[in-house]
Structure 1
């Protein structure tokens, strides 16, 4: 691997430093102030300028993230709020907005997009005929059981920084879904690999929807930054697009009173089924790129929230279309996992210099 302009293997690094943390690694800490107090966090440093936090008590989502000190993981005014403060039914189903911050917020496991009250007859419990779901579901505010983390040398000479955990979303007379998440980054590298498995651990057919809300903030996002897509066609736009007439490719500075703009795009995959939408900041000479498999995430949303004080753009690969769960149930596209059935999602977050 390359570090600081030179190539190293395990032995040559060991000759220079008695602890791998001189080069990079994974460190476990607990946040200890304000609304963040008590959140277990894993700090990743790759030694190549990439650093990021894994919020163990927030579904092992990704919090702050930087390249050479320049942030790209969005920081909102909510901070990384402890899940114990979360009230799922608060704000008429929009409670997610009180804990919405960071590079990645995971949506699911049984519901994504706007709130919906849906049939729950498959659970065979007469007092609970329906399930009421809020914006983007429950999983992002569930703590994980941390099963391991550290640094592991591979046979090919790479050192992989890693963490694994399990998030359980379960209710009596309800769903029993488990998310097993592995996060990897190479020592000397500038990419984050996310490998997720969602399994129906219960004994009833269970709804499954999944979405990554990947959020890029300042300074990667700035006036003149370009949002680049392998665009085939745009299949849906929010009403605010026509009302505001603000470009979705070249970013303006923060806009007073901006109303979020959302697009659903159909993207053109390469020969392996992969797409790589990106944000490029030529002034800083940096880019952020998301690589995912369109067989796993057939839908993609572009989120623009360019308001003062909440300046962000989003990349949202999704299993279902923007109309949400009610529409998916009506048109037959809703996913139900049979007992023991699982889905795999493998995604790469990549940053670099142009």
Structure 2
């Protein structure tokens, strides 16, 4: 299809086409949010799995003005929130959903969130996504560091994307790429930008994130990143299991220490359970790639989260198996760091620095494991990466929080 015919077909849809891909500006300073849809049919794409991408705007209450991009690749349906750090709100294949039920029902506009509120826990007032970006100046629990209050898990999840573009390959498999730019900036403090990408293909039950952090400033800066990836039923249930190639595991605190023997298995919804967290150092293959898996008790349904340990060297397993109403959920969280306040992580060498003009890349893949064969295949990959190497189980937390 020629650029002229494409523009005619899309009407007012902002678009520019070139030889190998279609590119569209969905949101930027000159493109106000307007509900719009592009489909494979409009593009003249003949594919076994027709696809569509829709931009819509929410109204009412604390979600007033929030932009959502819905991607239906013909098999998987995804919702991305440009207003909230390009976070992935949810993904589903048929009636199987990757995500969870938070008590926070609205997709909350960051304009209505005070991160410093609740003693630095204001971030929780908007927390309900499948994938929430944490960072990039810091991650972890709230608290003081060098005289500054660091709020829970940084600012990224509450930074609206300044530019959002859609890129669709013109040749099979017609990969769909949604891009957004986040800017984390403060005079004399930080000048970061994050180029985010979500990539999926028509007919796929997977998607991938490919983010690039850039330090635009003239001085080296500390940074941290954590990808809070959250799942509930039908994967999470009594007897559900977590698997990964594990080099070392330790309890986050004394409460987690009590459940350490069962850290890889899950309870059903349990009143007053609250949460336990485990610090994991994963093994990887020769390229640095590793894989983590969550599956139901029967091993017939699961999800996998893959990442590279050269980019994201550690992993947090968050087990929030409280009641359904409280938020029955587990977090599979690859990161540069664990979830301790930043001041505790410097002695652990988990507060890296990024040089002026330097780039850091973070790539994470998410797949639905729709049957026992897919689960078994993922578990086989975990075993291959483990390669018979020992797992160190540390009985004590890495940080003694009682001393501070």
Say which SS state the counterpart of residue 210 (structure 1) adopts. strand
Cα deviation digits, residues 44-75 of structure 1 (max 9, x gap): 11212x11111000010100221212212123
2:82 corresponding residue in structure 1: 56
2:113 corresponding residue in structure 1: 86
Residues 190/204 of structure 1: CA separation in 2 closer, same or farther (3 Å cut): same
1:198 corresponding residue in structure 2: 213
Residues 239/46 of structure 1: CA separation in 2 closer, same or farther (3 Å cut): same
The 5 A counterparts of 1:203-214 are 203-214=218-229
Residues 284/264 of structure 1: CA separation in 2 closer, same or farther (3 Å cut): closer
Cα deviation digits, residues 50-105 of structure 1 (max 9, x gap): 11111000010100221212212123011321111110210001111111111111
The 5 A counterparts of 1:140-155 are 140-154=157-171
1:65 corresponding residue in structure 2: 91
1:315 to 320, 332, 335: 332
Say which SS state the counterpart of residue 327 (structure 1) adopts. helix
Residues 158/174 of structure 1: CA separation in 2 closer, same or farther (3 Å cut): same
Aligned counterparts of 2:246 and 2:164: Cα–Cα separation in 1 = 39
Displacement of 1:24 in angstroms is 1.5
Aligned counterparts of 2:347 and 2:290: Cα–Cα separation in 1 = 29
1:276 corresponding residue in structure 2: 291
Aligned counterparts of 1:26 and 1:14: Cα–Cα separation in 2 = 9
Displacement of 1:243 in angstroms is 4.1
Matched, 1:250 2:265: yes
2:343 corresponding residue in structure 1: 326
Aligned counterparts of 2:320 and 2:350: Cα–Cα separation in 1 = 29
Matched, 1:161 2:161: no
Aligned counterparts of 1:242 and 1:162: Cα–Cα separation in 2 = 42
Residues 33/278 of structure 1: CA separation in 2 closer, same or farther (3 Å cut): farther
1:215 to 224, 230, 245: 230
Whether contact under 8 Å (1:160, 1:187) holds in the other structure is yes
Displacement of 1:334 in angstroms is 2.6
Q: Show structure 2 runs of 5+ residues with no match.
A: 1-38, 372-404
Where is the helix percentage greater, Structure 1 or Structure 2? 2
Displacement of 1:167 in angstroms is 0.4
Whether contact under 8 Å (2:211, 2:362) holds in the other structure is yes
Say which SS state the counterpart of residue 98 (structure 1) adopts. helix
1:44 corresponding residue in structure 2: 71
Matched, 1:114 2:129: no
2:125 corresponding residue in structure 1: 98
| Higher deviation after alignment, 260-269 or 240-249 | 240-249
TM-score (norm 1): 0.86
Residues 333/216 of structure 1: CA separation in 2 closer, same or farther (3 Å cut): closer
RMSD: 2.5
1:137 corresponding residue in structure 2: 154
TM-score (norm 2): 0.76
1:8 corresponding residue in structure 2: none
- Report how many aligned residue pairs link the two structures: 329
Displacement of 1:218 in angstroms is 2.0
| Higher deviation after alignment, 273-282 or 89-98 | 273-282
Say which SS state the counterpart of residue 175 (structure 2) adopts. strand
Matched, 1:186 2:201: yes
| Higher deviation after alignment, 110-119 or 204-213 | 110-119
Displacement of 1:15 in angstroms is 9.2
Displacement of 1:151 in angstroms is 2.9
Aligned counterparts of 1:216 and 1:150: Cα–Cα separation in 2 = 28
1:292 corresponding residue in structure 2: 307
Residues 246/98 of structure 1: CA separation in 2 closer, same or farther (3 Å cut): farther
Residues 27/19 of structure 1: CA separation in 2 closer, same or farther (3 Å cut): farther
Aligned counterparts of 2:43 and 2:186: Cα–Cα separation in 1 = 49
Aligned counterparts of 1:14 and 1:141: Cα–Cα separation in 2 = 32
